[in-house]
Amino acid sequence: MTREESAMTKEEQIAALRAQTWREDLRKSRKTKERTDIPRVEMNEQDPEIRSHNHLEVNLGLTAEQARLEAARCLDCANPTCILGCPVEIQIPSFVKNIERGDFLEAARVLKETSALPAVCGRVCPQEKQCEAQCIYTLKLGKPSVAIGHLERFAADYERESGRISVPELAPKNGKKVAVVGSGPAGLSFAGDMAKYGYEVMVFEALHEIGGVLKYGIPEFRLPNSVVDVEIDNLRQMGVQFMTNCIVGRTITIDELKEQGYCGIFVGSGAGLPNFMNIPGENLIHILSSNEYLTRVNLMDAANPESDTPVAMGKCVAVIGGGNTAMDSVRTAKRLGAERAIIVYRRSEEEMPARVEEVKHAKEEGIEFLTLHNPLEYYGDERGRVKQMRLQKMELGQPDDSGRRRPVPIPGAEVVIDVDQVIVSVGVSPNPLIPNSVEGLEISRWGTIVVDDNMRSSIPAIYAGGDIVRGGATVILAMGDGRKAAASMHAQLSGKE
Amino acid sequence: MNKIVSRTELSDLVVRLEVEAPMIAKARKPGHFVILKLGAKGERIPLTISSADTQKGTITLVVQRVGLTSNKLYNMQVGEEITDLLGPLGRATHIENFGTVLCAGGGVGIAPLLPIVEGMKKAGNKVISVLAARSKNLIMLEDEIRRHSDEVVIMTDDGSYGEKGLITVGVEKIIQREKVDLCVTIGPAVMMKFVSLLTKKYDVPTVASLNTIMVDGTGMCGGCRVSVGGKTKFVCVDGPEFDAHQVNFDEMIMRLGTYKEEEQEEMKKLHQK
């Protein structure tokens, strides 16, 4: 973004980009009808039978031809509503039109102006609920939206594979230091923006790897670690520094950070604490949280015989929950050799919070869905290993606070199922480490850090975002928070507030 | 980073390592632990910090070789580095002047007991330490414990040193002899279970420091969960010290066996190398 552009309003910026000569020529090059007649591209995928036995990425990406044709579907609207659906306000038509004209590197550059992690977002964002839900095809034409997510992934992958990765333009160094707590999507997004504003940025990470949930949580078959590493390298190129094995509030205190000259701190420590259901038998052997299961397999590489970390590979695995993490867990279990891998969810498929794509992929891979069932109790063998679970059958009642129909037990309808591993994936609570170790920080009764509209906490130098504020959301919302916090902290520290 | 600066074999099973870790040394308090990992493919294991030297910027870890990583650690030499070291973790021991404190440590549990003995003494308590092990060569850090205790009782299973008998024999004699205001126990889970049953009988408040399976050590995985007073607690963030009378030790002992088979496999591989 040039200086002149940053002085404009968002609308003026969008209009200025749209008025570029090449954009006008491109718009005129095809009739609207020609564009709307093109069917939406289908993502190339690994065969379900093959992929359910390997850890390689399920989605293979689009070819350049597929991407350019898909990009041609975009009508380059004067009022691009898609941008409103994006938590980090990517200039969507601008990057899409660059793909259409064949300038893929420029498309990637546009993405990186607003998103620190485009290759990640192109893979894990719920676009169908965000940008694509606001696409004119969805809103007005009654047709499948432009495949914005697939195109985002294409541009980011193209740039990475080309080896010609651009580093975003950085403002001159302003000599100020800021600290980031946690290297997940919120922290990385914040770090990238602050580096662009000219700050010296240090990211503190508790684990031995950078990336937070992108590394320990999301499996290789959905988001390869190599993709995350390239995005982190990109931040390093921008001057962002990282320190692993360091917990702010423990290894180093907030006061020590201030003494070392850090004038602002952003906390993106995530939703660390897995929830359990507190039902009988839940502490039996081989009942574990999805966090533990996925951390063992993803971060610790436990399924690899070379790794020192063990993981049990159940033959009959039940995963409790209906979110993306539950889908990740159950599909991982299948890949580790489970003969039966079952989703147990208390509502119906319609209420499942998981992305439609994940549910579809899971089904293709032979995952069983036991919806409208809720665990009541687990039974163990003589050594304390889980062997069975008792489930309550449910039906849907009146809508609850979330607007979804509340699951209600059907009296007397129970079933007992044999299992040798259970993965509990019923949500997470905020990590208590930071809230507990920073005096004066206002904490909600759910354990989240309380922030104002600018992501600022009750302590003026401390901002926060992502799951430590939201209590369990998505990668892109966390990134949006990081971006917003960076803008507000920058305004505060540069005296513009 | 995390270089081993000194190494002392306390027995053929136990080694004391002094490790460079200035930030942890400065921040740690009695009761805190670290998570460490060896090599790129290493596992993460928790170890309680035995002592720290803020001047030198070192922490001391006492390791008994039982599993894969503790065996690797035992074999490490001065100058080698621990790949990853995170801490201090957990809640620090609650130290105040209780009156008379009985510190009961078994085997390698004596090491993490040391900073608590020291802290309790400094806080003005009368400290009586009962140290127990299978035999004489496994009684460690006796001099250091003596330095901060008003009285030390040694118990060995085979009678090779001190009195013959289990730790509970020594603990019970003290409790029968005088009023004990608090008992702190660290050692193998089975030992802590029986110390806890005993002190419950005499109504002596007791704290146990639990060492469970952990991955991250920051509350993220829940692998360390135990039942305390019928509620599930995470040892890493809620502990590691709990009211021993509320801890379900049988469940904890069962859960410690989760990866027994995998561990035995790995040990076989280690010995073949």
Mean pLDDT over residues A428-455, rounded? Answer: 87
Is the dihedral angle over the CA atoms A54, A55, A56, A59 positive or is it negative? positive
Question: Residue B134: which of B153, B113, B162, B103 has the closest Cα?
Answer: B162
Give B34's contacts in chain A (Cβ within 8 Å).
none
Q: Which two tokens stand for residue A198?
A: 């000219």
Residue A496's pLDDT is 66
User: Do B216 and A207 make contact, defined as CB atoms within 8 angstroms?
Assistant: yes
In chain A, what are the domain boundaries?
51-162, 177-272+430-493, 277-428
Q: Which two tokens stand for residue A47?
A: 């065969």
Residue B273's pLDDT is 58
DSSP state of A45: E
Check whether domain A51-162 has CATH 1.10.1060.10, yes or no: yes
Distance CA(B238)–CA(A107), nearest Å, equals: 48
- A308/B contact by beta carbon, under 8 A: yes
pLDDT at residue A103 above 60?
yes
Identity of the residue in B23, B222, B227 whose CB atom sits nearest the CB atom of A274: B222
pLDDT at residue A473 above 90?
no
Tell me the residues of B at the A interface, defined by beta carbons under 8 Å apart.
23-24, 27, 37-39, 41-44, 68-69, 83-89, 215-216, 218-223, 225-227, 231-232, 234, 237, 251, 254-255, 257-259, 262-263, 266
Residue A164's pLDDT is 87
Mean pLDDT over residues B210-215, rounded? Answer: 94
Per-residue pLDDT of A393-412, as tens digits, reads 999 998 888 788 899 999 99
* Minimal-distance CA residue of chain A relative to B68: A308
Burial track A141-167 (b if 16+ CB lie within 10 A, e otherwise): eebebbbbbbbbbbbbbbbbeeeebee
User: Do A273 and B232 make contact, defined as CB atoms within 8 angstroms?
Assistant: no
Distance CA(A356)–CA(A361), nearest Å, equals: 9
pLDDT at residue A269 above 60?
yes
Q: Which two tokens stand for residue A28?
A: 């005129």
Angle at B229 (CA atoms; ends B224, B234), nearest 5 degrees: 20
Distance CA(A96)–CA(A152), nearest Å, equals: 8
Q: How confident is the model at residue A451 (pLDDT cuts 50, 70, 90)?
A: very high
Instruction: List the single best residue of B49, B71, B220 to mutate versus A (max A Cβ within 10 A).
Output: B220
Residue A1's pLDDT is 47
Per-residue pLDDT of B72-127, as tens digits, reads 999 999 999 999 999 999 999 999 999 999 999 999 899 999 999 999 999 999 99
Question: Residue A116: which of A446, A405, A466, A404 has the closest Cα?
Answer: A466
Distance CA(B83)–CA(B64), nearest Å, equals: 19
Distance CA(B225)–CA(B231), nearest Å, equals: 10
**What is the distance in angstroms between the Cα of B60 and the nearest Cα belonging to chain A?**
16
pLDDT at residue A163 above 60?
yes
**What is the distance in angstroms between the Cα of B63 and the nearest Cα belonging to chain A?**
18
Identity of the residue in A251, A433, A436 whose CB atom sits nearest the CB atom of B24: A251
User: Do B41 and A304 make contact, defined as CB atoms within 8 angstroms?
Assistant: yes
pLDDT at residue A443 above 70?
yes
Q: Which amino acid is at A452?
A: D
Instruction: List the single best residue of A181, A208, A254, A385 to mutate versus B (max B Cβ within 10 A).
Output: A208
Angle at A186 (CA atoms; ends A15, A133), nearest 5 degrees: 45
Question: Residue A107: which of A97, A117, A122 has the closest Cα?
Answer: A97
Half-sphere exposure (Cβ direction) of B117: Cα atoms closer than 13 Å: 31
pLDDT at residue A6 above 80?
no
Per-residue pLDDT of B245-256, as tens digits, reads 999 999 999 999
- A259/B contact by beta carbon, under 8 A: no
Distance CA(A26)–CA(A24), nearest Å, equals: 5
Phi, psi for residue A77 in degrees, rounded to 5: -60, 150
pLDDT over 90, % of chain A: 82
pLDDT at residue A168 above 90?
no
Residue A3's pLDDT is 47
The order of strands in the sheet holding A241-243 is A241-243, A200-204, A177-181, A262-267, A462-464
Mean pLDDT over residues A20-47, rounded? Answer: 95
* Minimal-distance CA residue of chain A relative to B221: A292
pLDDT over 90, % of chain B: 88
CATH homologous superfamily for the domain A277-428: FAD/NAD(P)-binding domain (3.50.50.60)
Residue A5's pLDDT is 53
Q: Which fold has domain A177-272+430-493?
A: FAD/NAD(P)-binding domain (3.50.50)
User: Do A247 and B85 make contact, defined as CB atoms within 8 angstroms?
Assistant: no
* Minimal-distance CA residue of chain B relative to A380: B254
Taking the whole predicted model, whether its pTM rises above 0.95 is answered as no
Identity of the residue in A291, A312, A433 whose CB atom sits nearest the CB atom of B222: A291
Instruction: List the single best residue of A308, A382, A436 to mutate versus B (max B Cβ within 10 A).
Output: A308
**What is the distance in angstroms between the Cα of B179 and the nearest Cα belonging to chain A?**
35
Per-residue pLDDT of A370-380, as tens digits, reads 999 999 999 99
Q: In CATH terms, are A177-272+430-493 and A277-428 the same topology?
A: yes
Question: What is the H or E stretch that residue B23 is in?
Answer: helix B22-27
User: Do B23 and A283 make contact, defined as CB atoms within 8 angstroms?
Assistant: no
Q: Which two tokens stand for residue A223?
A: 């988001």
Q: Could you tell me which residues come within 8 angstroms of residue B181 by beta carbon, excluding any fewer than 6 positions away?
A: B98, B99, B100, B101, B204, B205
Residue B264's pLDDT is 79
Mean pLDDT over residues A25-36, rounded? Answer: 95
